[in-house]
Structure 1
Protein backbone atom coordinates (compact mmCIF):
# COMPACT_ATOMS: atom_id res chain seq x y z
CA UNK A 1 0.00 0.00 0.00
CA UNK A 2 2.87 2.39 0.79
CA UNK A 3 4.26 1.93 -2.72
CA UNK A 4 0.88 2.65 -4.31
CA UNK A 5 0.56 5.83 -2.24
CA UNK A 6 4.08 6.85 -3.27
CA UNK A 7 3.24 6.28 -6.93
CA UNK A 8 0.04 8.30 -6.62
CA UNK A 9 1.91 11.11 -4.91
CA UNK A 10 4.71 11.10 -7.46
CA UNK A 11 2.15 11.14 -10.26
CA UNK A 12 1.33 14.71 -9.32
CA UNK A 13 4.79 15.73 -10.46
CA UNK A 14 4.61 17.63 -13.80
CA UNK A 15 7.26 15.47 -15.49
CA UNK A 16 5.47 13.56 -18.28
CA UNK A 17 5.29 9.81 -17.67
CA UNK A 18 3.55 7.64 -20.23
CA UNK A 19 0.91 5.24 -18.86
CA UNK A 20 0.15 2.00 -20.71
CA UNK A 21 -2.10 -0.98 -20.37
CA UNK A 22 -1.77 -4.25 -22.26
CA UNK A 23 -3.48 -6.81 -24.41
CA UNK A 24 -2.77 -10.53 -24.40
CA UNK A 25 -1.42 -11.76 -27.72
CA UNK A 26 -1.03 -15.39 -26.65
CA UNK A 27 -0.49 -17.48 -23.54
CA UNK A 28 1.84 -20.45 -23.08
CA UNK A 29 2.30 -23.10 -20.38
CA UNK A 30 4.66 -22.22 -17.53
CA UNK A 31 5.88 -24.46 -14.72
CA UNK A 32 3.75 -23.47 -11.71
CA UNK A 33 6.50 -24.76 -9.41
CA UNK A 34 8.94 -22.14 -10.74
CA UNK A 35 9.65 -19.18 -8.46
CA UNK A 36 10.63 -17.02 -11.43
CA UNK A 37 13.49 -14.62 -10.76
CA UNK A 38 15.07 -13.97 -14.15
CA UNK A 39 13.97 -14.40 -17.75
CA UNK A 40 15.40 -13.71 -21.19
CA UNK A 41 15.02 -14.88 -24.80
CA UNK A 42 17.86 -16.10 -26.97
CA UNK A 43 17.98 -18.03 -30.26
CA UNK A 44 14.49 -19.50 -30.12
CA UNK A 45 14.31 -20.33 -26.43
CA UNK A 46 13.47 -18.77 -23.10
CA UNK A 47 16.04 -18.92 -20.33
CA UNK A 48 14.74 -18.78 -16.79
CA UNK A 49 16.28 -18.53 -13.35
CA UNK A 50 14.29 -19.57 -10.31
CA UNK A 51 14.69 -18.99 -6.59
CA UNK A 52 14.09 -20.66 -3.23
CA UNK A 53 16.73 -22.53 -1.26
CA UNK A 54 17.23 -26.06 -2.53
CA UNK A 55 15.15 -25.39 -5.66
CA UNK A 56 17.05 -22.67 -7.51
CA UNK A 57 18.06 -23.38 -11.07
CA UNK A 58 18.87 -21.87 -14.46
CA UNK A 59 17.08 -23.54 -17.37
CA UNK A 60 16.52 -23.41 -21.13
CA UNK A 61 12.78 -23.68 -21.77
CA UNK A 62 10.66 -24.77 -24.68
CA UNK A 63 8.20 -21.95 -25.30
CA UNK A 64 5.34 -24.14 -26.50
CA UNK A 65 5.37 -26.56 -23.57
CA UNK A 66 7.12 -24.64 -20.79
CA UNK A 67 9.30 -27.66 -20.12
CA UNK A 68 13.02 -27.46 -19.37
CA UNK A 69 15.21 -28.70 -22.23
CA UNK A 70 18.33 -28.31 -20.10
CA UNK A 71 18.97 -27.06 -16.59
CA UNK A 72 21.61 -26.60 -13.93
CA UNK A 73 20.79 -26.39 -10.24
CA UNK A 74 22.38 -23.94 -7.86
CA UNK A 75 23.88 -25.13 -4.56
CA UNK A 76 21.13 -25.82 -2.03
CA UNK A 77 22.29 -23.02 0.27
CA UNK A 78 21.94 -20.36 -2.46
CA UNK A 79 18.80 -18.46 -3.44
CA UNK A 80 18.89 -17.79 -7.18
CA UNK A 81 17.90 -14.43 -8.62
CA UNK A 82 18.23 -12.71 -12.02
CA UNK A 83 20.14 -13.83 -15.11
CA UNK A 84 21.32 -12.18 -18.31
CA UNK A 85 23.31 -13.12 -21.39
CA UNK A 86 26.81 -11.78 -21.92
CA UNK A 87 28.45 -13.13 -25.05
CA UNK A 88 28.47 -16.90 -24.77
CA UNK A 89 27.84 -16.77 -21.05
CA UNK A 90 24.82 -16.56 -18.80
CA UNK A 91 25.57 -14.43 -15.76
CA UNK A 92 23.39 -14.89 -12.69
CA UNK A 93 23.23 -13.52 -9.17
CA UNK A 94 21.95 -14.76 -5.82
CA UNK A 95 19.80 -12.99 -3.26
CA UNK A 96 21.83 -12.61 -0.04
CA UNK A 97 24.78 -14.89 -0.71
CA UNK A 98 26.91 -12.29 -2.51
CA UNK A 99 27.83 -14.99 -5.03
CA UNK A 100 27.36 -14.73 -8.78
CA UNK A 101 27.62 -17.50 -11.34
CA UNK A 102 28.66 -17.88 -14.96
CA UNK A 103 27.32 -20.67 -17.16
CA UNK A 104 27.85 -21.63 -20.79
CA UNK A 105 24.78 -20.53 -22.73
CA UNK A 106 25.22 -23.57 -24.98
CA UNK A 107 25.53 -26.28 -22.35
CA UNK A 108 24.49 -24.51 -19.10
CA UNK A 109 27.62 -25.95 -17.52
CA UNK A 110 29.26 -23.78 -14.82
CA UNK A 111 32.15 -21.56 -15.95
CA UNK A 112 33.03 -19.99 -12.62
CA UNK A 113 31.80 -17.82 -9.77
CA UNK A 114 32.36 -14.26 -8.57
CA UNK A 115 31.52 -12.19 -5.52
CA UNK A 116 29.82 -8.83 -5.07
CA UNK A 117 28.59 -6.71 -2.17
CA UNK A 118 24.97 -6.43 -1.14
CA UNK A 119 21.91 -8.25 -2.40
CA UNK A 120 21.25 -9.43 -5.94
CA UNK A 121 17.77 -9.11 -7.49
CA UNK A 122 17.71 -8.56 -11.26
CA UNK A 123 20.42 -8.23 -13.92
CA UNK A 124 20.57 -7.09 -17.54
CA UNK A 125 23.11 -5.84 -20.03
CA UNK A 126 23.08 -2.19 -21.09
CA UNK A 127 25.73 -1.70 -23.74
CA UNK A 128 28.94 -3.14 -22.35
CA UNK A 129 27.81 -2.91 -18.72
CA UNK A 130 26.04 -5.41 -16.53
CA UNK A 131 23.29 -3.67 -14.56
CA UNK A 132 22.18 -5.05 -11.18
CA UNK A 133 19.14 -4.24 -9.05
CA UNK A 134 19.25 -4.96 -5.32
CA UNK A 135 15.77 -4.02 -4.07
CA UNK A 136 16.71 -0.41 -3.51
CA UNK A 137 16.09 2.53 -5.85
CA UNK A 138 19.61 2.21 -7.29
CA UNK A 139 20.83 0.42 -10.39
CA UNK A 140 24.48 -0.63 -10.13
CA UNK A 141 26.64 -0.84 -13.26
CA UNK A 142 29.53 -3.35 -13.47
CA UNK A 143 32.19 -4.48 -15.88
CA UNK A 144 30.86 -8.00 -16.65
CA UNK A 145 34.39 -9.38 -17.13
CA UNK A 146 35.76 -8.26 -13.76
CA UNK A 147 32.61 -7.29 -11.82
CA UNK A 148 34.26 -4.02 -10.88
CA UNK A 149 31.55 -1.48 -10.10
CA UNK A 150 31.44 1.41 -12.57
CA UNK A 151 28.64 3.67 -11.31
CA UNK A 152 25.19 3.84 -9.73
CA UNK A 153 22.02 5.47 -11.03
CA UNK A 154 18.99 6.21 -8.85
CA UNK A 155 15.63 5.26 -10.37
CA UNK A 156 13.14 8.12 -10.01
CA UNK A 157 9.40 8.28 -10.60
CA UNK A 158 8.38 11.88 -11.08
CA UNK A 159 11.64 12.99 -9.46
CA UNK A 160 11.31 10.76 -6.40
CA UNK A 161 13.35 7.59 -5.72
CA UNK A 162 11.43 4.37 -6.40
CA UNK A 163 12.58 1.23 -4.58
CA UNK A 164 11.78 -2.47 -5.03
CA UNK A 165 13.29 -2.57 -8.53
CA UNK A 166 13.35 -6.28 -9.34
CA UNK A 167 13.72 -8.32 -12.56
CA UNK A 168 15.31 -6.40 -15.43
CA UNK A 169 15.27 -6.56 -19.24
CA UNK A 170 16.81 -4.17 -21.77
CA UNK A 171 14.63 -3.28 -24.76
CA UNK A 172 15.74 -0.70 -27.33
CA UNK A 173 18.15 0.91 -24.89
CA UNK A 174 15.68 1.24 -22.02
CA UNK A 175 15.68 -0.88 -18.87
CA UNK A 176 12.31 -2.50 -18.19
CA UNK A 177 11.82 -3.51 -14.56
CA UNK A 178 9.26 -5.31 -12.45
CA UNK A 179 8.39 -3.47 -9.25
CA UNK A 180 8.20 -6.16 -6.59
CA UNK A 181 4.80 -6.89 -5.05
CA UNK A 182 2.97 -4.80 -7.65
CA UNK A 183 1.37 -5.26 -11.07
CA UNK A 184 3.63 -2.57 -12.55
CA UNK A 185 6.51 -2.62 -15.00
CA UNK A 186 8.47 0.60 -15.48
CA UNK A 187 10.65 1.69 -18.39
CA UNK A 188 13.81 3.40 -17.16
CA UNK A 189 16.32 5.66 -18.89
CA UNK A 190 19.58 3.98 -17.80
CA UNK A 191 21.55 7.21 -18.21
CA UNK A 192 19.43 9.26 -15.80
CA UNK A 193 17.31 6.77 -13.86
CA UNK A 194 14.17 8.65 -14.87
CA UNK A 195 11.08 6.53 -15.51
CA UNK A 196 9.61 7.21 -18.94
CA UNK A 197 6.65 4.82 -18.80
CA UNK A 198 4.50 2.94 -16.32
CA UNK A 199 2.86 -0.26 -17.57
CA UNK A 200 -0.08 -1.57 -15.57
CA UNK A 201 -0.56 -5.34 -15.88
CA UNK A 202 -3.41 -5.57 -13.39
CA UNK A 203 -5.56 -8.63 -13.96
CA UNK A 204 -2.86 -10.78 -15.51
CA UNK A 205 -2.19 -12.72 -12.30
CA UNK A 206 -5.88 -13.55 -12.01
CA UNK A 207 -6.01 -14.61 -15.67
CA UNK A 208 -3.08 -16.94 -15.02
CA UNK A 209 -4.97 -18.55 -12.16
CA UNK A 210 -2.16 -17.77 -9.71
CA UNK A 211 -2.87 -17.11 -6.05
CA UNK A 212 -0.96 -16.35 -2.89
CA UNK A 213 1.12 -13.37 -1.81
CA UNK A 214 4.35 -14.78 -3.29
CA UNK A 215 2.82 -15.29 -6.74
CA UNK A 216 3.68 -11.84 -7.99
CA UNK A 217 4.40 -10.56 -11.46
CA UNK A 218 8.08 -11.18 -12.22
CA UNK A 219 9.87 -12.01 -15.45
CA UNK A 220 10.32 -9.97 -18.64
CA UNK A 221 11.81 -11.32 -21.88
CA UNK A 222 12.17 -9.66 -25.28
CA UNK A 223 12.47 -11.46 -28.60
CA UNK A 224 14.27 -8.74 -30.57
CA UNK A 225 14.00 -10.53 -33.92
CA UNK A 226 10.23 -11.02 -33.85
CA UNK A 227 9.49 -8.06 -31.55
CA UNK A 228 7.70 -10.21 -29.00
CA UNK A 229 7.34 -9.26 -25.34
CA UNK A 230 6.94 -12.07 -22.79
CA UNK A 231 5.99 -11.76 -19.13
CA UNK A 232 5.18 -14.17 -16.32
CA UNK A 233 5.20 -14.41 -12.54
CA UNK A 234 6.36 -16.50 -9.62
CA UNK A 235 4.46 -19.79 -9.46
CA UNK A 236 2.31 -18.80 -12.46
CA UNK A 237 1.01 -21.68 -14.63
CA UNK A 238 1.04 -19.37 -17.66
CA UNK A 239 3.53 -17.21 -19.51
CA UNK A 240 2.19 -14.46 -21.77
CA UNK A 241 3.11 -12.70 -24.95
CA UNK A 242 1.62 -9.22 -24.54
CA UNK A 243 1.50 -5.95 -26.45
CA UNK A 244 1.23 -2.50 -24.92
CA UNK A 245 -2.15 -0.82 -25.32
CA UNK A 246 -3.92 2.45 -24.52
CA UNK A 247 -0.69 4.34 -23.96
CA UNK A 248 -1.27 7.95 -23.00
Structure 2
Protein backbone atom coordinates (compact mmCIF):
# COMPACT_ATOMS: atom_id res chain seq x y z
CA UNK A 1 0.00 0.00 0.00
CA UNK A 2 1.17 3.50 -0.72
CA UNK A 3 2.79 4.90 2.45
CA UNK A 4 1.06 8.24 2.05
CA UNK A 5 -2.37 6.62 1.72
CA UNK A 6 -1.70 4.39 4.74
CA UNK A 7 -0.64 7.37 6.90
CA UNK A 8 -3.70 9.31 5.79
CA UNK A 9 -5.95 6.43 6.77
CA UNK A 10 -4.35 6.17 10.18
CA UNK A 11 -4.68 9.93 10.71
CA UNK A 12 -8.35 9.85 9.66
CA UNK A 13 -9.06 6.95 12.03
CA UNK A 14 -7.33 8.82 14.86
CA UNK A 15 -9.36 12.00 14.24
CA UNK A 16 -12.60 10.01 14.01
CA UNK A 17 -11.76 8.24 17.24
CA UNK A 18 -11.09 11.57 18.98
CA UNK A 19 -14.36 13.00 17.67
CA UNK A 20 -16.24 9.93 18.89
CA UNK A 21 -14.64 10.25 22.32
CA UNK A 22 -15.39 13.96 22.38
CA UNK A 23 -19.03 13.28 21.46
CA UNK A 24 -19.25 10.54 24.09
CA UNK A 25 -17.88 12.85 26.77
CA UNK A 26 -20.43 15.59 26.06
CA UNK A 27 -23.34 16.00 28.49
CA UNK A 28 -26.45 15.41 26.40
CA UNK A 29 -29.78 13.63 26.08
CA UNK A 30 -29.50 10.11 24.70
CA UNK A 31 -33.29 9.75 24.82
CA UNK A 32 -35.47 11.31 23.53
CA UNK A 33 -34.00 12.51 20.26
CA UNK A 34 -34.91 16.10 19.46
CA UNK A 35 -38.26 16.34 17.68
CA UNK A 36 -39.63 13.01 18.88
CA UNK A 37 -43.44 12.96 18.41
CA UNK A 38 -45.31 11.84 21.54
CA UNK A 39 -49.05 11.31 21.86
CA UNK A 40 -50.64 13.02 24.84
CA UNK A 41 -50.62 10.74 27.89
CA UNK A 42 -47.65 8.66 26.78
CA UNK A 43 -44.66 8.27 29.11
CA UNK A 44 -41.22 9.32 27.91
CA UNK A 45 -37.91 8.12 29.32
CA UNK A 46 -35.36 10.89 29.87
CA UNK A 47 -31.94 9.29 29.59
CA UNK A 48 -28.70 11.29 29.72
CA UNK A 49 -25.14 10.73 28.55
CA UNK A 50 -22.80 12.00 31.24
CA UNK A 51 -19.32 13.42 30.60
CA UNK A 52 -16.61 10.80 30.92
CA UNK A 53 -14.50 13.16 33.01
CA UNK A 54 -17.25 13.50 35.60
CA UNK A 55 -17.05 10.53 37.97
CA UNK A 56 -19.46 11.98 40.54
CA UNK A 57 -21.79 14.92 40.76
CA UNK A 58 -23.98 16.80 43.20
CA UNK A 59 -27.30 16.63 41.34
CA UNK A 60 -29.18 16.68 38.04
CA UNK A 61 -32.29 18.84 37.64
CA UNK A 62 -34.72 17.82 34.88
CA UNK A 63 -37.23 20.36 33.52
CA UNK A 64 -39.80 20.81 30.76
CA UNK A 65 -40.40 24.34 29.50
CA UNK A 66 -38.53 25.59 32.57
CA UNK A 67 -40.75 23.75 35.06
CA UNK A 68 -38.81 21.33 37.24
CA UNK A 69 -39.78 17.69 36.76
CA UNK A 70 -37.29 15.93 39.03
CA UNK A 71 -34.02 16.25 40.95
CA UNK A 72 -31.63 13.30 41.05
CA UNK A 73 -28.25 12.47 42.50
CA UNK A 74 -27.76 9.45 40.24
CA UNK A 75 -27.80 8.69 36.51
CA UNK A 76 -30.97 6.57 36.52
CA UNK A 77 -33.36 7.75 33.74
CA UNK A 78 -36.40 9.82 34.71
CA UNK A 79 -39.89 9.06 33.39
CA UNK A 80 -41.91 11.99 32.05
CA UNK A 81 -45.71 11.70 32.07
CA UNK A 82 -47.25 13.85 29.29
CA UNK A 83 -50.85 13.56 30.49
CA UNK A 84 -51.08 17.28 31.32
CA UNK A 85 -48.59 18.59 28.76
CA UNK A 86 -49.66 21.23 26.28
CA UNK A 87 -49.66 20.28 22.60
CA UNK A 88 -46.70 21.34 20.52
CA UNK A 89 -42.95 21.48 20.96
CA UNK A 90 -41.94 21.14 24.61
CA UNK A 91 -38.37 22.00 25.58
CA UNK A 92 -36.55 19.51 27.80
CA UNK A 93 -33.50 20.48 29.82
CA UNK A 94 -31.18 18.82 32.30
CA UNK A 95 -28.76 20.79 34.50
CA UNK A 96 -25.77 18.92 35.86
CA UNK A 97 -24.11 20.32 38.98
CA UNK A 98 -20.64 19.13 39.93
CA UNK A 99 -17.56 20.70 41.49
CA UNK A 100 -19.22 24.09 41.66
CA UNK A 101 -19.91 24.04 37.91
CA UNK A 102 -23.07 23.68 35.84
CA UNK A 103 -23.60 21.98 32.49
CA UNK A 104 -26.88 22.03 30.57
CA UNK A 105 -28.29 19.57 28.03
CA UNK A 106 -31.32 20.22 25.84
CA UNK A 107 -33.77 18.23 23.76
CA UNK A 108 -37.43 18.55 22.84
CA UNK A 109 -40.53 16.49 22.18
CA UNK A 110 -43.60 17.35 20.11
CA UNK A 111 -46.77 16.48 22.03
CA UNK A 112 -49.76 15.70 19.81
CA UNK A 113 -53.42 14.77 20.44
CA UNK A 114 -54.91 11.35 19.73
CA UNK A 115 -56.09 10.66 16.16
CA UNK A 116 -59.21 12.68 15.24
CA UNK A 117 -62.59 11.20 14.50
CA UNK A 118 -63.26 11.00 10.78
CA UNK A 119 -66.48 12.09 9.10
CA UNK A 120 -67.93 11.99 5.64
CA UNK A 121 -71.09 13.90 4.71
CA UNK A 122 -74.64 13.63 3.48
CA UNK A 123 -76.18 16.47 1.48
CA UNK A 124 -79.58 17.34 2.94
CA UNK A 125 -80.38 20.23 0.61
CA UNK A 126 -78.87 22.56 -1.97
CA UNK A 127 -79.49 26.29 -2.35
CA UNK A 128 -78.41 28.84 -4.99
CA UNK A 129 -75.19 30.75 -4.31
CA UNK A 130 -73.75 33.66 -6.28
CA UNK A 131 -71.09 32.10 -8.57
CA UNK A 132 -69.28 35.44 -8.62
CA UNK A 133 -68.87 35.49 -4.82
CA UNK A 134 -65.25 34.73 -3.89
CA UNK A 135 -66.36 33.57 -0.45
CA UNK A 136 -64.06 34.29 2.52
CA UNK A 137 -66.46 34.43 5.47
CA UNK A 138 -69.97 33.10 6.08
CA UNK A 139 -72.32 33.29 9.08
CA UNK A 140 -76.01 33.13 9.99
CA UNK A 141 -77.68 35.44 12.47
CA UNK A 142 -80.52 34.43 14.81
CA UNK A 143 -83.08 35.17 12.07
CA UNK A 144 -81.37 32.92 9.50
CA UNK A 145 -80.12 35.85 7.47
CA UNK A 146 -76.80 34.86 5.92
CA UNK A 147 -73.88 37.31 6.05
CA UNK A 148 -71.00 36.86 3.66
CA UNK A 149 -67.59 38.43 3.14
CA UNK A 150 -66.02 38.13 -0.31
CA UNK A 151 -62.60 38.80 -1.71
CA UNK A 152 -61.69 39.03 -5.35
CA UNK A 153 -59.54 36.99 -7.70
CA UNK A 154 -56.06 38.31 -8.46
CA UNK A 155 -57.23 38.97 -12.02
CA UNK A 156 -59.87 41.33 -10.64
CA UNK A 157 -62.46 39.86 -13.00
CA UNK A 158 -65.05 39.46 -10.28
CA UNK A 159 -65.04 43.01 -9.00
CA UNK A 160 -64.32 44.37 -5.56
CA UNK A 161 -64.37 42.70 -2.18
CA UNK A 162 -67.72 43.02 -0.46
CA UNK A 163 -69.85 42.57 2.63
CA UNK A 164 -73.28 41.07 1.97
CA UNK A 165 -76.54 40.05 3.59
CA UNK A 166 -78.12 37.16 1.67
CA UNK A 167 -81.38 35.24 1.56
CA UNK A 168 -79.85 31.77 1.69
CA UNK A 169 -82.96 30.07 0.30
CA UNK A 170 -82.82 31.78 -3.08
CA UNK A 171 -79.37 33.39 -3.11
CA UNK A 172 -80.79 36.94 -3.36
CA UNK A 173 -78.41 39.66 -2.13
CA UNK A 174 -80.48 41.75 0.28
CA UNK A 175 -77.79 44.23 1.24
CA UNK A 176 -74.25 44.91 0.04
CA UNK A 177 -71.34 47.28 0.35
CA UNK A 178 -68.07 47.09 -1.56
CA UNK A 179 -64.69 47.60 0.04
CA UNK A 180 -62.18 50.08 -1.28
CA UNK A 181 -60.05 48.53 -4.05
CA UNK A 182 -56.96 48.40 -1.82
CA UNK A 183 -58.63 45.94 0.58
CA UNK A 184 -59.05 42.22 0.08
CA UNK A 185 -62.01 41.03 2.14
CA UNK A 186 -61.49 37.97 4.34
CA UNK A 187 -63.26 36.28 7.28
CA UNK A 188 -66.21 37.78 9.14
CA UNK A 189 -68.27 37.12 12.24
CA UNK A 190 -71.23 38.57 14.12
CA UNK A 191 -71.20 39.86 17.70
CA UNK A 192 -74.51 41.30 18.87
CA UNK A 193 -75.41 44.22 16.64
CA UNK A 194 -71.93 44.32 15.05
CA UNK A 195 -70.30 42.70 12.06
CA UNK A 196 -66.53 42.28 12.20
CA UNK A 197 -64.69 41.74 8.93
CA UNK A 198 -61.00 41.04 8.30
CA UNK A 199 -58.82 42.06 5.39
CA UNK A 200 -56.04 39.86 4.09
CA UNK A 201 -52.62 41.56 3.99
CA UNK A 202 -53.68 45.09 4.82
CA UNK A 203 -53.48 44.29 8.58
CA UNK A 204 -56.75 46.01 9.39
CA UNK A 205 -60.18 44.80 10.46
CA UNK A 206 -63.48 46.67 10.05
CA UNK A 207 -66.46 46.89 12.40
CA UNK A 208 -69.92 47.61 10.99
CA UNK A 209 -73.40 48.25 12.30
CA UNK A 210 -75.19 44.99 11.52
CA UNK A 211 -78.42 46.67 10.40
CA UNK A 212 -77.10 49.54 8.30
CA UNK A 213 -73.64 48.25 7.25
CA UNK A 214 -72.27 51.63 8.32
CA UNK A 215 -68.62 51.31 9.36
CA UNK A 216 -68.34 52.20 13.05
CA UNK A 217 -64.73 51.26 13.74
CA UNK A 218 -61.55 49.56 12.65
CA UNK A 219 -58.58 47.92 14.31
CA UNK A 220 -55.02 46.89 13.51
CA UNK A 221 -53.61 43.40 13.82
CA UNK A 222 -51.01 42.52 16.42
CA UNK A 223 -48.49 39.71 15.93
CA UNK A 224 -50.59 37.94 13.31
CA UNK A 225 -49.36 39.19 9.93
CA UNK A 226 -52.51 38.44 7.94
CA UNK A 227 -56.28 38.09 8.29
CA UNK A 228 -57.90 34.82 7.15
CA UNK A 229 -60.75 33.49 9.28
CA UNK A 230 -62.76 34.88 12.20
CA UNK A 231 -65.36 33.59 14.65
CA UNK A 232 -66.83 34.62 18.01
CA UNK A 233 -67.38 32.39 21.04
CA UNK A 234 -69.44 34.93 23.01
CA UNK A 235 -66.45 36.11 25.06
CA UNK A 236 -63.67 36.69 22.53
CA UNK A 237 -62.91 36.65 18.84
CA UNK A 238 -60.84 33.82 17.39
CA UNK A 239 -58.73 34.67 14.35
CA UNK A 240 -56.64 32.65 11.90
CA UNK A 241 -53.80 33.93 9.72
CA UNK A 242 -53.10 30.99 7.40
CA UNK A 243 -50.60 29.33 9.74
CA UNK A 244 -51.20 26.67 12.39
CA UNK A 245 -52.01 29.35 14.97
CA UNK A 246 -55.31 30.72 16.29
CA UNK A 247 -55.28 34.14 17.96
CA UNK A 248 -57.67 35.30 20.68
CA UNK A 249 -58.89 38.90 20.38
CA UNK A 250 -60.50 41.06 23.04
CA UNK A 251 -64.22 41.41 22.29
CA UNK A 252 -64.17 45.18 22.91
CA UNK A 253 -60.72 46.38 21.81
CA UNK A 254 -59.92 43.62 19.26
CA UNK A 255 -56.39 43.46 20.68
CA UNK A 256 -54.64 40.07 20.54
CA UNK A 257 -54.54 38.61 24.04
CA UNK A 258 -53.10 35.18 23.38
CA UNK A 259 -52.90 32.36 20.89
CA UNK A 260 -52.90 28.60 20.57
CA UNK A 261 -51.31 26.31 17.99
CA UNK A 262 -53.35 23.70 16.14
CA UNK A 263 -52.17 20.08 16.13
CA UNK A 264 -53.38 16.72 14.95
CA UNK A 265 -51.79 13.36 15.80
CA UNK A 266 -49.00 13.95 13.28
CA UNK A 267 -47.97 17.48 14.24
CA UNK A 268 -48.93 21.10 13.52
CA UNK A 269 -51.64 21.74 10.91
CA UNK A 270 -50.95 24.76 8.73
CA UNK A 271 -53.22 26.80 6.44
CA UNK A 272 -56.11 27.18 8.90
CA UNK A 273 -58.59 29.35 7.02
CA UNK A 274 -62.30 30.26 7.40
CA UNK A 275 -63.69 29.67 10.90
CA UNK A 276 -67.05 28.94 12.56
CA UNK A 277 -67.73 28.49 16.27
CA UNK A 278 -70.12 25.55 16.84
CA UNK A 279 -71.07 24.14 20.25
CA UNK A 280 -67.77 24.95 21.92
CA UNK A 281 -65.55 23.89 19.01
CA UNK A 282 -63.93 25.77 16.12
CA UNK A 283 -64.68 24.39 12.67
CA UNK A 284 -62.03 25.45 10.17
CA UNK A 285 -61.42 25.09 6.45
CA UNK A 286 -57.90 23.97 5.53
CA UNK A 287 -56.66 26.08 2.61
CA UNK A 288 -56.55 24.24 -0.77
CA UNK A 289 -58.12 21.09 0.74
CA UNK A 290 -61.71 19.84 0.79
CA UNK A 291 -61.36 19.27 4.52
CA UNK A 292 -62.88 20.89 7.59
CA UNK A 293 -61.15 20.25 10.91
CA UNK A 294 -62.85 20.44 14.31
CA UNK A 295 -60.59 22.13 16.87
CA UNK A 296 -60.77 22.30 20.65
CA UNK A 297 -60.01 26.01 21.25
CA UNK A 298 -58.81 25.26 24.78
CA UNK A 299 -56.00 22.93 23.71
CA UNK A 300 -55.55 23.42 19.96
CA UNK A 301 -56.07 19.71 19.40
CA UNK A 302 -57.96 18.57 16.31
CA UNK A 303 -60.77 16.29 17.45
CA UNK A 304 -62.47 15.67 14.12
CA UNK A 305 -61.86 15.83 10.38
CA UNK A 306 -64.63 16.15 7.79
CA UNK A 307 -63.81 14.89 4.30
CA UNK A 308 -65.82 16.88 1.75
CA UNK A 309 -64.06 15.69 -1.39
CA UNK A 310 -66.46 15.57 -4.31
CA UNK A 311 -69.24 17.67 -2.80
CA UNK A 312 -68.95 20.32 -5.52
CA UNK A 313 -68.49 18.57 -8.87
CA UNK A 314 -67.73 21.80 -10.76
CA UNK A 315 -64.61 22.59 -8.73
CA UNK A 316 -61.65 23.51 -10.95
CA UNK A 317 -58.61 24.82 -9.05
CA UNK A 318 -57.48 26.57 -5.85
CA UNK A 319 -59.46 29.67 -6.86
CA UNK A 320 -62.55 27.49 -6.68
CA UNK A 321 -61.97 25.84 -3.31
CA UNK A 322 -64.11 25.01 -0.31
CA UNK A 323 -64.16 28.10 1.92
CA UNK A 324 -67.35 28.86 3.79
CA UNK A 325 -68.87 27.41 6.96
CA UNK A 326 -72.13 28.66 8.50
CA UNK A 327 -74.12 27.18 11.36
CA UNK A 328 -77.84 27.66 11.96
CA UNK A 329 -77.98 27.44 15.76
CA UNK A 330 -81.75 27.34 16.05
CA UNK A 331 -82.14 24.54 13.55
CA UNK A 332 -78.81 22.82 14.35
CA UNK A 333 -77.90 22.84 10.66
CA UNK A 334 -74.47 23.01 9.06
CA UNK A 335 -73.96 24.78 5.73
CA UNK A 336 -70.90 24.98 3.50
CA UNK A 337 -69.93 26.62 0.22
CA UNK A 338 -66.78 27.72 -1.58
CA UNK A 339 -65.13 30.37 -3.71
CA UNK A 340 -67.18 31.03 -6.84
CA UNK A 341 -69.48 28.10 -6.10
CA UNK A 342 -73.00 28.20 -7.49
CA UNK A 343 -74.32 26.10 -4.60
CA UNK A 344 -74.73 26.44 -0.84
CA UNK A 345 -75.06 23.01 0.80
CA UNK A 346 -76.86 21.98 3.95
CA UNK A 347 -74.97 18.88 5.07
CA UNK A 348 -75.12 16.29 7.80
CA UNK A 349 -72.00 14.64 9.19
CA UNK A 350 -71.62 10.87 8.96
CA UNK A 351 -69.06 9.36 11.32
CA UNK A 352 -66.89 6.72 9.72
- Asked if Structure 1 and Structure 2 have the same fold, meaning a TM-score greater than 0.5 normalized by the shorter chain, the answer is yes
Report if the CA contact (8 A) 1:46-1:61 is conserved. yes
Q: Map residues 1-248 of structure 1 onto 2, 5 A cutoff.
A: 15-42=114-141, 43-52=143-152, 55-117=160-222, 118-158=225-265, 160-206=267-313, 209-245=314-350, 247-248=351-352
Distance 2:341 2:170 in 1: 14
So what's the TM-score if we normalise by structure 1? 0.91
Deviation per CA, 1:93-115, whole angstroms, max 9, x where unpaired? 10000111011111212112111
Q: Distance in 2 between matches of 1:122 and 1:165?
A: 8
Contact 1:205-1:216 at 8 Å conserved across structures: no
Query: d(CA) in 1 for partners of 2:218 and 2:322?
Result: 28
- Counterpart Cα distance in 2 of 1:154 and 1:200: 22
SS, match of residue 204 in structure 1: coil
Decide which moves more: 123-132 or 183-192: 123-132
Give the superposed CA RMSD.
1.5
Looking at structure 1, the residues matched to 113 and 228 of structure 2 have their Cα atoms a distance apart, in angstroms, of 30
Comparing 153-162 with 182-191, greater Cα deviation is found at 153-162
What's the CA shift string for 1:127-160, capped at 9, x where partnerless? 3110100000000001021122111100001151
Q: Distance in 1 between matches of 2:312 and 2:192?
A: 33
Which of the pair has more CA radius of gyration?
Answer: 2
CA distance in 1, matches of 2:132, 2:208: 23
Displacement after TM superposition at 1:15 (Å): 1.3
In structure 1, runs of 5+ residues without a counterpart are 1-9
- What SS does the corresponding residue of 1:214 show, helix, strand or coil? helix
Aligned residues: 234
Structure 1 outlier segments of 4+, above 6 Å: none
TM-score (norm 2): 0.65
What displacement does 1:14 show? 7.9
Contact 1:188 1:194 in 2 (8 A): yes
Residue range with higher mean Cα deviation, 162-171 or 115-124: 115-124
Equivalent-residue separation in structure 2 for 1:145 and 1:14 (angstroms): 32
Q: SS of the residue aligned with 2:312?
A: helix
Q: Which has the higher contact order (CA 8 A, sep 6+)?
A: 1
